[in-house]
């Protein structure tokens, strides 16, 4: 059970965008340089967040990505599911209805108890991530983080 | 984020073994036939549960697999982690320490807040599954389930 490597990328990029001035945007190239990530593949992941309605993208010399909503209205669950999808890790293929022990259909009207408990666990995971907003992540950073982030993201003199 | 297909197999096989008479055992071939599963691959998965200390395996004509502990002392988490391992789905590769925005090591002594919240979610998932025993799964089945299971698992006249 693995989340894509890009999950870390988009969580950090979203946290970075949450530290920008209003109306400011960061390009995929700037974010890729900031975290030393492969720009084309990162751009593809960032587009997934646009598609999910979490980021907006603008073109032009000062264009790029920004949050589509206030940081307090974007949860970690939304970000993770934007790149990994919403399907649950446990797949019930109804083996209870197969083979010599196959249960008749009329005994399978309810979800299998094992599938139900696995779904409960996935819901616990989702609830945990749905309970954390980007604003809360920002609040855990040092007070100097946003100005540092903006300086290094946009500054040209840093090597 | 996907669990192996065999997760469903081992959960159902463990539930099946929990319905046997004391000292009774079921072979990989019997379990494979019961659920119409590929016997060699199922046997490999069942061995993983032996290795995890959840099943015992005996050889001989009446040999096979049985639970190593009472059903009330085996949780769904133990079964799932026996086949999928215990590593968390989110991997933090410390991209906060890379690229133009790299944080100095002295600012990274604590776990990244994003990694910490992802770990919280995984713990919520684990807690949910650790809270369900095989005995509780059995209690949710119809009262006739154990005798039916034993009859179809060991009976020779069923087609």
Give the pLDDT of residue B97: 92
Is A118 in CB contact (< 8 Å) with chain B?
yes
Give the pLDDT of residue B157: 45
How far lies B31's CA from each of A119, B3, B11, B62, in Å?
25, 21, 12, 14
The answer on pLDDT for A158 being more than 70 is: no
Q: Do B125 and A127 touch (CB under 8 A)?
A: no
Report the pLDDT averaged over residues B75-80. Answer: 98
The answer on pLDDT for B155 being more than 90 is: no
The answer on pLDDT for B159 being more than 60 is: no
Strand B64-67 relative to strand A55-58: parallel, antiparallel, unpaired?
Answer: unpaired
Nearest-by-Cβ selection for A96 from B12, B84, B140: B12
Give the pLDDT of residue A23: 87
Report the pLDDT averaged over residues A85-93. Answer: 94
3-state secondary structure at position A82: helix
The answer to whether B137 and A114 are in contact (CB under 8 A) is yes
The answer to whether B75 and B128 are in contact (CB under 8 A) is no
Range list of β-strands (E), chain A: 55-58, 64-67
% of chain B exceeding 90 in pLDDT: 88
- Chain B: give the shortest CA distance to residue A125, in Å: 5
The answer on pLDDT for A159 being more than 60 is: no
3-state secondary structure at position A29: helix
Whole-angstrom distance, CA of residue A12 vs CA of residue A6: 10
Q: Which one, of A89, A1, A79, A5, lies nearest residue B88 by Cα?
A: A1
Q: Which one, of A129, A95, A140, lies nearest residue B96 by Cα?
A: A140
Q: Do B95 and A9 touch (CB under 8 A)?
A: yes
ipTM of the complex: 0.94
Q: How confident is the model at residue B76 (pLDDT cuts 50, 70, 90)?
A: very high
Half-sphere exposure of A92 (CA within 13 A, CB side): 16
Could you count the other beta carbons within 10 Å of the beta carbon of residue A104? 7
Give the pLDDT of residue B23: 87
Helix, strand, coil % (nearest 5) of chain B? 55, 5, 40
The overall average pLDDT reported for chain A is 94
The answer on pLDDT for A64 being more than 90 is: yes
Report the pLDDT averaged over residues B69-80. Answer: 98
Tokens encoding B3: 């669990």
Is B15 in CB contact (< 8 Å) with chain A?
yes
Report the pLDDT averaged over residues B15-32. Answer: 95
CA angle A128, A133, A139 (to 5 degrees): 115
Which chain A residues contact residue B117 at CB under 8 A? 76, 128-129, 132, 137
Whole-angstrom distance, CA of residue A57 vs CA of residue A10: 15
Nearest-by-Cβ selection for A125 from B124, B142, B152: B124
The answer to whether A7 and A83 are in contact (CB under 8 A) is yes
Tokens encoding B108: 């990274």
Q: How confident is the model at residue B140 (pLDDT cuts 50, 70, 90)?
A: very high
Q: How confident is the model at residue A156 (pLDDT cuts 50, 70, 90)?
A: low
């Amino acid at each position: 059970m693995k989340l894509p490597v890009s999950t870390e990328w988009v969580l950090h990029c979203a946290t970075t965008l949450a530290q920008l001035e209003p109306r400011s945007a960061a390009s995929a190239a700037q974010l890729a340089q900031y975290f030393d990530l492969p720009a084309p593949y990162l751009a593809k992941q960032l587009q997934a967040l646009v598609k999910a309605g979490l980021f907006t993208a603008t073109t032009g010399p000062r264009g790029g990505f920004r949050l589509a909503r206030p940081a307090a209205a974007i949860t970690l669950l939304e970000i993770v599911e934007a790149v990994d999808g919403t399907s649950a890790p446990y797949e019930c293929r109804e083996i209870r209805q197969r083979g010599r022990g196959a249960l008749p259909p009329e005994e399978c009207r309810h979800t299998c108890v094992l599938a139900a408990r696995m779904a409960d666990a996935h819901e616990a995971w989702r609830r945990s991530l749905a309970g954390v907003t980007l604003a809360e992540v920002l609040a855990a950073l040092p007070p100097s983080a946003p100005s540092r982030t903006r300086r290094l993201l946009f500054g040209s003199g840093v090597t």
